[in-house]
Amino acid sequence: MKYISLSEIDWKQLESEVQEFWKKEDIFMRSQSSKSPGSDKEKESFVFYEGPPSANGIPGIHHIMGRSIKDAFCRYKTMQGYSVVRHAGWDTHGLPVELQVEKDLGIQKSDIGKTISVEDYNKKCREAVMRFRKEWENLTHQMGFWINMEKPYLTCDKNYIETVWWLVQTLYNKGLLYRGKTIQPYSPAAGTALSQHELNQPGCYKSVKDISIIVQFQRKEKHNEYLLAWTTTPWTLSSNQALAVHKDIPYLRVKTQNPYTQKDIQVYLAESTLPGLFSSVQDYEIIEKIQGKDMVGWEYEPLFSYVPIPKPSFLIVEDDFVSTEEGTGIVHIAPTFGADDARIGKKYGLSGVYVKDDQGEQIPLVDKMGRFVEEVKDFAGRYVKDFGFSEPEKESTDLSIALHLKKQGKAFKIEKHNHSYPHCWRTDKPILYYPVTSWFLKTTQLKKELSQLNKEIHWHPPQVGKGRFGNWLENLQDWNLSRTRFWGSPLPIWMTEDQQEILCIGSYEELKQEVHKSVQAGWQAQELPHDFDPHRPYVDELILCSPKGKPMYREQEVLDVWFDSGAMPYAQWHYPFENSESFEKNFPADFIAEGIDQTRGWFFTLHALSSLLWKKISFKNVVVNGLVLDKKGNKMSKRWGNTVDPLETLKTYGADPTRWYLMGQVSPGENVKFDAEQLHIVQRSFFGTLQHVFNFFMLYAEIDAFYYSRSQTLPVDEREIIDQWLISRLQRLIAEVTRAYENYLIHQVIQQIQSFVLDDLSNWYIRLNRKRFWQGQKNEYKYAAYQSLYECLKALTAIMAPIAPFLTEKMYDALRSPEDAPSVHLIPFPKANNTWVQEDLNKNMRLVQKICSLGHALRKKHQIKVRQPLSALSVPASDPIYNPLFENKALSELILSELNVKEIRREPHVQQVVKPHFQQIGKGPHRKWMKDIKAYLESHPSAPNPEKGIHIPIPKQKKNLFLPPEELIIHTLFPPGHQHISEANLSVALDFRLSSDLLKEGWAREFVNRIQHLRKKQNLDVDDKIHLYIQEHPQIASVWTSMEEYIRRETQALKYSFEKELENPFCLDIEKTRVSVRIEKLSP
RNA sequence: GGGCUUGUAGCUCAGGUGGUUAGAGCGCUACACUGAUAAUGUAGAGGUCCGUGGUUCGAGUCCACGCAAGCCCA
């Protein structure tokens, strides 16, 4: 053992010392070794996947949370004897990177390829990707997350991309890839379509105030009859092609006035929307009631006529999605700008309203920048929503359209409307639903398999898997794989211009051959160089040759970044091109852990790819952590300025307390409200107490030169009862903690360790056994205490090591024997020894603790200090619950010293009140008579000798029921004169009569106490001897005769003298008497 | 509109399989201890366990319907 003190713990220094040690001794690599230490036995592997973070943003406090969980279980499994290989990875592609580069360069998407070449742009992206890699690595290092960062997998790595291509090809060959035009969420600000996962980023849906209009559509050939349709997106009105009603909803034709023009008109609307639209019944007159289905097929006049719109158009259709919750029950349909609209359009053969742009491409009436095309002459060039490109105009485009319609008498009602509208997760600008040509993965085709396989995954907590993830799978849409961006894994698909021939490339070798063919055909000038970069723009320049000899061009799109991360199990090994064995050994993962925000992100893409490819799961256990919110429960965001700097937190509070706090605060999956004050409490109360216990041990172990040796251990059953109890509790703790770890319930691990350290170890064992450590002689009694505390501390370091790797390493290093492994992270996780578990002893000790607590309460109530000895504690004589106190002297002695009483007495004259023990009865055969038992005992609460059981008459059965004592709760009342207190089924009384002997003893203890104070004040060492000078006083004289030995022993007064007058005396006020004393240190 | 989660002391949160006195920490009040001491302990006050019904001898716990908040999706 090395004797160290942690009294003033400097976390920063402790951490750097431990880090240095880990580095010097290569502990992390050694812990990952595939062989068990000291043997050739191959360890079983426990597979962990690290979800790749993107290093182009600064890490936040929530990353400590997620990474702590990963680290804790990996360390735990290592200690359980598994080989846990941990590879870091980085997500390098994608929109966040591109947007940051655009911001840095002050450009927009449309500038790429014009003011900056794609080549230079991607170069910038590559540089930006790892911008905060240092910060990430720093955080990872500081918090003690063990992961191999030296050779991380990078999603932009050439080999990584080759695997991604291979995966795409495999899916393509299975017929799961298709090209289609769909209405997609599209962000004009970012210049790209967004995937479902992107739209599912938290905070995308925002409550906004938009203009809503109820528009009058003139019914064809019906003068003055209008259809009222409501929309919150006026900018889509110029693309209107139909109006939808619900076939089963009743509609009305009413006579009313246009509120703006005061013109008399007749309008159609759903019956149930009438009250919402008109404040008074005088405002309208019902003319006709008609079912929705009878309106289908009616025609109406177009609202605008900017572009010719092919038939069929401008007619009423029906669909179930129409509701009357809001609006008029008649819904405006613009198939180019809404998913439902597009679906209805398809159903009725509506073409959609398109024009050709200057490149001859078919686009809707709004261009990709979000502006109206020229053809919409009244609003040409105006942004349909605020995408942040220009100064906000005086009025929104929606309002301009509304006013335009109002002027023409076509607006019935214009309002501001609050609703929730999706926004781009990166630019924060509104998205549009926009027709986009994309490549899709047919995830819907394998929906059932996905759900079925999901049941094999163990989710922690389970409801995330069953609920959130399960529901998501059941409502699955096809996965839009392609992005019209630049920095990403390119889509390996080449097509002929007529789109008739398609080639999907699955390896670089294949590409090389295709290029070779193309060179021979004359479409391509050069062979594929060996060191080619698969990124854009280089890959775009490769023209391949179709089987029919036509040139093929690459689809100029890149893959959704989520595909990259989902490909990680395969691509990190460059499977199937190399490392097949490694891949197979490491698939699927035994364990992954990420935040709940990954439900539809990484969790989904991992699951989707492995399910689609092989009908297998890719991870067996997943621990999902909640969000880290600020202390008020608000989301952390830079904009609100309520983010918490993770490095600063680690620096201030230490890595171990931070990890302990973040993982121990809430049940799994719950959001943590991060509160520095709470973290401080964890640091102070838990870690502080643990340090004190440790220091206490170290202090005396050093004085006594205690040295733990396995060969000299004192058998547990030969130690004191309280030692046996401590060891027994420890075994229970180890068993419970192991179970919690195995079930991925980290917060239970923490809570159990915490309550053991605070309640059992510190507040009971140490408090009661302090004297054993500082008493003079070295004997077995003392040795047993050292040994028990030692074993306890050593086991604690092991079971805490996965969570608090630094402090435990330091403590372990101080405690370990030379034959032990050098690091706590290399030792096997402790196993509970059941032969040391003594359930009875645990129970009895609880009884002792309870009695002491009651005794303290009683003393407090009567204002009698613990220092004043009392003659006796009484317990009911006949109750067997107190038997252990009389059978086991060690237990009663604990009570005697803790409560400072001379004896424990049995009091025979008590009255007993009996209640049923419902929990016990409910388990047994008497359950069905519960009502009768309850009724009887309520009217007959006192019974003679209830501890032997009682008979209860059951009137219905005309018989007596015998209730054994364990089915009863017995309350005891002491006879008058006793000062007693009861709790649950315990009752104790204290005798507060003070004899003169007791008073003298009490006085002597006070006196000793004051002398000890003086010793300390004069900086005497614990074992310094003194000469005690006392001024003569009748009180001291009367006490001295009986208490001399006690006083001299406690104060270590080898010499003493009574004097008439003292020089430089100290005045001690004890119980209304004043004595003067002086002490002098004796030279040894 | 749908899904999931949450609702327990002033605050932050625990409370397998239902059991009659619902816990912890912090905060507050009072006190004690004094060689673990820049530490520690004890006690007190503080609760309609969101509401309403139901199942049951018995519901914080199970069921149903609500209410509120958060997240996600239409």
Active site residue A635: yes
Can you give the pLDDT at residue A202? Answer: 56
Which residues touch A276 (CB under 8 Å, ≥6 apart)?
none
| Token pair in block for residue A532 | 């080619």
State, as a whole number of angstroms, the distance between the CA of A984 and the C1' of B54: 32
Q: Which nucleotides of B are covered by protein (CB under 7 A)?
A: 1, 3-6, 12-15, 19-21, 25-26, 31-37, 39-44, 57-58, 70-74
- Tell me which of A166, A230, A602, A764 is the catalytic residue: A602
CA(A9)–C1'(B38) in Å?
A: 13
In degrees, rounded to 5, the angle at the alpha carbon of residue A762 between the alpha carbons of residues A725 and A1009 is 110
Is A416 a catalytic site residue? no
User: Does an H or E element contain A1058, and which?
Assistant: strand A1053-1059
Distance CA A604, CA A450 (A): 10
pTM value is 0.82
Listing DSSP states for A17-79 in one string gives HHHHHHHHHTHHHHHT-SB-TTS-PBPEE--B-PPPPBTTS---HHHHHHHHHHHHHHHHHHH
Contact, A924 CB vs strand B, < 7 Å: no
Q: Contact, A237 vs A332, CB < 8 A?
A: yes
> Quick check: A763 and A729 in contact, CB under 8 A?
no
- Taking the C-alpha atoms of residue A155 and residue A563, their distance in angstroms, rounded to an integer, is 10
Distance A670 CA to B8 C1' (A): 16
Q: CB of A644 within 8 A of CB of A630?
A: yes
- Identify the active-site residue in A32, A43, A52, A590: A52
Distance A993 CA to B31 C1' (A): 21
DSSP letter string, A989-1013 = EE-----HHHHHHHHHHHHHHHHHH
Q: Which residues contact A1019 (CB under 8 A, 6 or more apart)?
A: none
Nearest to A95 by CA among A426, A539, A439: A426
Catalytic site residue A151? no
A866 touches strand B (CB under 7 A): yes
Q: Measured in angstroms, what separates residue A997's CA from nucleotide B38's C1'?
A: 38
| Distance from CA(A622) to C1'(B4), angstroms, rounded | 17
CA distance A1029 to A1: 42
β-pairing verdict for A551-554 and A493-496: antiparallel
C-beta separation of A251 from A295 below 8 A: yes
Strands A479-480, A432-441: parallel, antiparallel or unpaired by DSSP?
Answer: antiparallel
pLDDT tens-place string over residues A704-756: 888 887 777 888 888 888 899 899 989 989 998 998 999 898 888 998 898 88
- Helix orientation angle between A805-815 and A780-800, rounded to the nearest 10 degrees: 150
Q: How many CB atoms lie within 10 A of CB A102?
A: 21
Tell if A1021 CB is < 7 Å from nucleic strand B.
yes
Q: Are A421 and A385 in contact (CB under 8 A)?
A: no
Q: Which amino acid is at A830?
A: P
Which CA distances in Å does A548 have to A296, A414, A552, A643, A826?
49, 59, 10, 59, 63
Give the nucleotide at minimum CA-to-C1' distance from A863.
B31
Q: Which amino acid is at A961?
A: L
b/e sequence A120-157, b meaning 16+ C-beta within 10 Å: ebbebbbebbbbbeeebbebbebbbbbbebeebbbbbb
Judge whether residue A853 contacts strand B, using its CB and a 7 Å cut-off: yes
A1070: helix, coil or strand? strand
CA A847 to chain CA centroid, nearest Å: 38
Nearest to A568 by CA among A532, A543, A545, A602: A602
For A438, half-sphere exposure in the C-beta direction (CA atoms, 13 angstrom radius) is: 26
Q: Is A80 a catalytic residue?
A: no
At A890-911, the pLDDT tens digits run 888 888 888 888 888 888 877 7
Instruction: Give the N- to C-terminal CA distance of chain A in Å, as an integer.
Output: 30
Q: Which residue has the tokens 């993982």?
A: A663
Give DSSP secondary structure letters for A482-505: EES-SSSPBP-EEEETTS--EEE-
Q: Is residue A562 flagged as an active site residue? A: yes
Q: At what angle do helices A646-653 and A61-79 cross, to 10 degrees?
A: 60
Distances (CA, A) of A586 to A88, A173, A410, A568, A815: 14, 25, 66, 11, 36
> Which of residues 619-638 of A have CB within 7 Å of strand B?
633, 635
The partner residues of A316 in beta bridges, in order of sequence, read A243
C-beta within 7 A of nucleic chain B, residues 657-676 of A: 665-667, 669-673, 675
Per-residue flag: A1012 CB under 7 A of strand B: yes
Structure tokens at A368: 């990709």
The SS3 of residue A672 is strand
Residue labelled with tokens 């216990």: A693
At A979 the three-state DSSP class reads: strand
Q: How far is A1004 from A824, CA to CA, in rounded Å? A: 48
Asked if residue A437 lies in contact with residue A183, where contact means CB atoms within 8 angstroms, the answer is no
Backbone angles phi, psi at A213, to 5 degrees: -130, 140
Phi, psi of A563 (to 5 degrees): -65, -40
Measured at the CA of A1077, the angle between CA A1073 and CA A1078, to 5 degrees, comes to 165
| Strand B contacts in A 251-310 (CB under 7 A) | none
Residue matched to tokens 């952590």: A625
Closest by CA position to A160, among listed A89, A99, A101: A89
Which of A2, A151, A394, A638 does the annotation list as catalytic? A638
Asked if strand B comes closer than 7 Å to A919 Cβ, the answer is: yes
Beta pairing partners, A1074 = A1069
A419 CA to B6 C1' in angstroms comes to 24
A345 Rama class: left (phi>0) / alpha (psi -120 to 50) / beta: alpha
Give helix A746-755 / helix A721-742 axis angle, nearest 10°: 170
Q: Is the CB of A906 under 7 A from strand B?
A: no
Task: For chain A, list residues with pLDDT below 50.
Answer: none
Say whether the CB atom of A556 is under 7 angstroms from strand B. Answer: no
Q: Which residue has the tokens 């505390």?
A: A789
Block residue for tokens 């990190």: A572
Question: Could you give the CA distance from residue A783 to residue A761 in angstroms, rounded to a whole number?
Answer: 17
Map tokens 């009058």 to a residue. A216
Helix (H, G, I), strand (E, B) or coil at A346: helix
Range A683-717 burial, b when 16+ CB lie within 10 A, else e: beebbbbbbebbeebbbbbeeeebebeeeeeeebe
SS3 of residue A363 by DSSP = strand
The interface predicted TM-score of the complex, written ipTM, equals 0.87
Does the C-beta of A1018 come within 7 A of strand B? Answer: no
Sorted by sequence, the CB contacts under 8 Å of residue A711 that are 6+ apart come out as none
Residues 690-719 of A with CB under 7 A from strand B: 692-693, 695-696, 699
Note the CA–C1' distance, A640 to B51, in angstroms: 35
**Nearest nucleotide by C1' from A766 CA?**
B36
Q: If DSSP codes are grouped into helix, strand and coil, which group holds residue A670?
A: coil
Neighbours of A418 (CB within 10 A): 12
Residues for chain A: how many in total?
A: 1084
CB distance A189 to A422 below 8 Å: no
Q: Is the CB of A766 under 7 A from strand B?
A: yes
